[in-house]
Amino acid sequence: MNIGASSPEDYGDYFAWGETQPKDVYSWSTYKWCNGSSSKMTKYCTDSSFGNNGFVDNKTELDPEDA
């Protein structure tokens, strides 16, 4: 069964990426690993020199010498 489900047919709880507590509302303002917006991530990639505000779109941006 899924976590939080009371039977095999129930969906159970929903979780945001990297969080361990279930959520009812999914938005940047309720996400544990940012400061209110997608451009202010506090975990996983905090170096804005990679890609767009820490988000890497493809391997070329991550490792331009292999392009």
Structure confidence at residue 17 (pLDDT)? 83
Q: Is the pLDDT of residue 38 over 70?
A: yes
31, with CB counted inside 10 A (0-12, 13-18, 19+), is buried
Least-confidence region, from 4-13, 29-38, 44-53: 44-53
- Whole-number average pLDDT of the chain: 75
Cβ 28 vs Cβ 36: under 8 Å:
yes
Check whether 55 has a pLDDT greater than 70.
no
Q: Which residue has the higher pLDDT, 1 or 48?
A: 1
C-alpha torsion sign, points 19, 23, 27, 29? negative
Per domain, the residue ranges of the chain are: 1-32, 39-67
